[in-house]
A and B are shown apart, each in its own frame.
Chain A
Amino acid sequence: MAVQDVSFEAYFGEILFVVGPSGSGKTTMLSMVSGILRPNAGRVEIEGTDIWTLSADRLAEFRLHKLGFVFQDYHLFPRLTTAENVAIPLILQRRNWDEAIDEALRDLKIVGLESRAGLPPVKLSGGEQQRVAIARAIISRPDVLVFDEPTASLDGDTGRSVISFVRDQLLTDRRCIVIITHDARIFEFADRIMNMEDGKVKSIQTATALTREAAGEP
């Protein structure tokens, strides 16, 4: 079993890092939390809604409106422009095409890529592609943002700047951000860090405590 006896809470206004070695069940756990992998047992509540009691269509609606994903491989559409990629969640919400593109341009401005709006993602660098994926994740103003290994394919400086941007620009009192990562260099941006091992939660600590622990301080 990939994940067992996991119980935790994440709060609005915080960034929760999920860390642990490969195979520890981070992605599986987050998939269940995000409503894309049905757990065999247990509950996942987001804002009081037990998401796994919803029908498939209602759950899809829930993901569309309440959750934003930044996949590890970004999964941008190479045949669409950057702006169109960002607009996808709004288009799935049946918003008018032009209106969705306008909002995409606004969010591309937030991530500093408004000048790249008309280009296909393949013309962008890795860091830029990730920012496009972030813009796509935030365009519907979701309550929960989920990042899977956001710095895995970025160099150290770019990775830090991305997470810094996430912390400064995307974290609000009405939003919870969950980030799966292996990258200890960005731990300082977390409010809490959940450590997983063998499918179980080993610990949940504040970032400061974890840093102290790593440094051997009491």
Chain B
Amino acid sequence: MIGILTIAYKLLVNDRAKFAALLVGITFAVFLMIQMTSLFAGILNRSSATVINIGAKIWVMDPAIQTVANSIPMPDYVLDEVRSIPGVKYAVPLYSGGGLAKLSNGAYQAVNVMGLDDSSLFGRPRLIEGNIQDIFAENGFIVVKDAEFAKLLNPSIGTEFELNDHRGRIVGIAQVATSGLFGVPSLYTTYSRARQYLPNARFTLSYILVEPKSEADVRNIERAVGDMGYLALTKDEFMSKISSFYMFQTGLGTNMLLMTVISFIVGLSISGQTFYTFILENLEKFGALKAIGAKGSELVSMILFQATFTALTGYGLGIGLCALLIGLARLRIPDYAAIITFSNIGLAFVMVVVIAAISSYFGVRRVLLIEPFDIFRG
């Protein structure tokens, strides 16, 4: 059988123009499918940046919350109630909100401020400059060095600014695992200072971060918080909730799905049409093979091999091209939100298999129908 497949391989790759057209079709289809889904995965990942960076095991919040950025403040007593739930090792408050920073040049810049629990600083970022204790210093803020850092005029330790008419001072520069989605610089300070500088509403508690005593206590805590009329979610559940919001309650998921389907259809059209033409052009040759003594199953194997080889080569090239372009994009835009995940690759693989199957189906039909007599007759 290896010899027969070698013939199939040579018939395919030695027809360079057709083979190139087939590869271009599959490669671009895979590239577009992976690019679209990677972008979507990247955006979903970014949308959960705060959840990832803070790293709490359980988040308590208002049940109406859809994304981490749009918190709905809870009354302070909820924190005490949560702390009293059996199985809670500790629970700390988290403030998350937006403010307007006035910079040294007089310009205003929207910022996202995270207020960490004063006593534990739970969820603090990794500092690359400065000392975490300085966050307690007067007007102390830690700035995150990410793609948005420059929007604060590249501050250094000691840089001063105004936040909602309060004086602020940079005391540390941090790096976090994941940058946010909304193109806004991030600042960290204490919970009490955040409360003092930012909110104008009665309730100020954005989230309660909970550490359970054990994994077994997680469900009990979720149930108890639910009984209080609030929502407790594990880190993964919260990220999933945020993803679901973007996927199903914004146009983002639908648009990405549409683009992915269009990529699939384009890939299928180009590759299917080209492969079918390739089979038609070689129909006489397949007929001659049949006349010489090739079995139907052998001809089917040849076509399936050709389709599979083309599909897998195009698949590899598509992934490579996508990785290359994402890499290049990151050189220019360090926070470019695209992640190639195993799910993306798996989805594209399934689609490529479908493209190969449909393309070869029509080819196989034609080849099986051809009569060697037609070849013999000329």
Q: Mark B81-99, 1 if CB is under 8 A from A, else 0.
A: 0000000000000000000
Q: Which of B11, B293, B294, B375 has the most CB of A within 10 A?
A: B293
B375 with A75: CB separation less than 8 A:
yes
- Which residue of A36, A77, A92 is within 8 Å of B298 (Cβ)? A92
Residues of chain A within 8 A (CB-CB) of B287 are: 75
Closest to B294 in A: A92
Residues of chain B within 8 A (CB-CB) of A183 are: none
Instruction: With both chains docked as a complex, state the minimum distance between the C-beta of A21 and any C-beta of chain B, in angstroms.
Output: 16
Q: Mark A46-85, 1 if CB is under 8 A from B, else 0.
A: 0000000000110011111101010111010101100010
In the complex, what distance in Å separates the CA atom of A27 from the CA atom of B377?
Answer: 6
Is the CB of A97 closer than 8 A to any CB of chain B?
yes
Instruction: With both chains docked as a complex, state the minimum distance between the C-beta of B3 and any C-beta of chain A, in angstroms.
Output: 4
Interface residues on A, range: 35 or more
- Which residue of A92, A94, A148 is within 8 Å of B378 (Cβ)? A148
B376 with A60: CB separation less than 8 A:
no
- Which residue of A27, A36, A65, A96 is within 8 Å of B291 (Cβ)? A36
In the complex, what distance in Å separates the CA atom of A91 from the CA atom of B11?
Answer: 14
Q: Mark A72-111, 1 if CB is under 8 A from B, else 0.
A: 1101010110001000110110111100100000000000
Residues of chain B within 8 A (CB-CB) of A164 are: none
Is the CB of A34 closer than 8 A to any CB of chain B?
yes
Is the CB of A209 closer than 8 A to any CB of chain B?
no
Residues of chain B within 8 A (CB-CB) of A62 are: 293
A91 with B295: CB separation less than 8 A:
no
Q: Mark B1-40, 1 if CB is under 8 A from A, else 0.
A: 1111011001100110000000000000000000000000
Across chains A and B, the number of contacting residue pairs, with CB separation under 8 Å, is 97
Instruction: With both chains docked as a complex, state the minimum distance between the C-beta of A55 and any C-beta of chain B, in angstroms.
Output: 10
Residues of chain A within 8 A (CB-CB) of B11 are: 77, 79-80
Instruction: With both chains docked as a complex, state the minimum distance between the C-beta of A80 and any C-beta of chain B, in angstroms.
Output: 6
In the complex, what distance in Å separates the CA atom of A31 from the CA atom of B375?
Answer: 10
Q: Mark A126-149, 1 if CB is under 8 A from B, else 0.
A: 000000000010000000000010
Instruction: With both chains docked as a complex, state the minimum distance between the C-beta of A43 and any C-beta of chain B, in angstroms.
Output: 18
Is the CB of A124 closer than 8 A to any CB of chain B?
no
Is the CB of A6 closer than 8 A to any CB of chain B?
no
B293 with A60: CB separation less than 8 A:
yes
Q: Considering the complex, which residues of chain B in the window 287-316 have a beta carbon less than 8 Å from any beta carbon of chain A?
A: 287-298
Is the CB of A10 closer than 8 A to any CB of chain B?
no
Given A89-B292, A89-B293, A92-B298, does the pair A71, B15 have CB atoms closer than 8 Å?
no
- Which residue of B3, B284, B289, B372 is within 8 Å of A97 (Cβ)? B3
A94 with B3: CB separation less than 8 A:
yes
- Which residue of B1, B4, B6, B376 is within 8 Å of A71 (Cβ)? B376
Residues of chain A within 8 A (CB-CB) of B203 are: none
Closest to B378 in A: A72
Is the CB of B136 closer than 8 A to any CB of chain A?
no
Residues of chain A within 8 A (CB-CB) of B182 are: none
Instruction: With both chains docked as a complex, state the minimum distance between the C-beta of B306 and any C-beta of chain A, in angstroms.
Output: 12
- Which residue of B10, B284, B295, B376 is within 8 Å of A80 (Cβ)? B10
B292 with A63: CB separation less than 8 A:
yes
Interface residues on B, range: 20 to 34
A31 with B296: CB separation less than 8 A:
no
Q: Which of A36, A56, A95, A148 has the most CB of B within 10 A?
A: A36
Instruction: With both chains docked as a complex, state the minimum distance between the C-beta of B359 and any C-beta of chain A, in angstroms.
Output: 19
Closest to A152 in B: B378
A96 with B3: CB separation less than 8 A:
yes
In the complex, what distance in Å separates the CA atom of A106 from the CA atom of B2?
Answer: 22
In the complex, what distance in Å separates the CA atom of A210 from the CA atom of B3?
Answer: 47
In the complex, what distance in Å separates the CA atom of A65 from the CA atom of B2?
Answer: 19
B15 with A79: CB separation less than 8 A:
yes
A97 with B6: CB separation less than 8 A:
yes
A60 with B295: CB separation less than 8 A:
yes
A71 with B293: CB separation less than 8 A:
no
Residues of chain A within 8 A (CB-CB) of B10 are: 79-80, 84
In the complex, what distance in Å separates the CA atom of A62 from the CA atom of B293?
Answer: 7
A71 with B378: CB separation less than 8 A:
yes
Instruction: With both chains docked as a complex, state the minimum distance between the C-beta of B20 and any C-beta of chain A, in angstroms.
Output: 14
Residues of chain A within 8 A (CB-CB) of B3 are: 91-92, 94-97, 100
Residues of chain A within 8 A (CB-CB) of B288 are: 71, 75
Instruction: With both chains docked as a complex, state the minimum distance between the C-beta of B349 and any C-beta of chain A, in angstroms.
Output: 29
B7 with A80: CB separation less than 8 A:
yes
Residues of chain B within 8 A (CB-CB) of A37 are: 371-373, 376
Residues of chain B within 8 A (CB-CB) of A65 are: 293
- Which residue of B2, B4, B376 is within 8 Å of A92 (Cβ)? B4
In the complex, what distance in Å separates the CA atom of A66 from the CA atom of B1?
Answer: 20
A69 with B294: CB separation less than 8 A:
no
In the complex, what distance in Å separates the CA atom of A57 from the CA atom of B296?
Answer: 8
Given A95-B3, A96-B3, A97-B3, does the pair A34, B376 have CB atoms closer than 8 Å?
yes
- A-B contacts, 9 listed (Cβ < 8 Å): A31-B376, A36-B373, A37-B371, A57-B297, A71-B376, A75-B287, A75-B375, A77-B11, A79-B10
- Which residues of B are interface residues toward A (Cβ below 8 A)? 1-4, 6-7, 10-11, 14-15, 284-285, 287-298, 371-373, 375-378
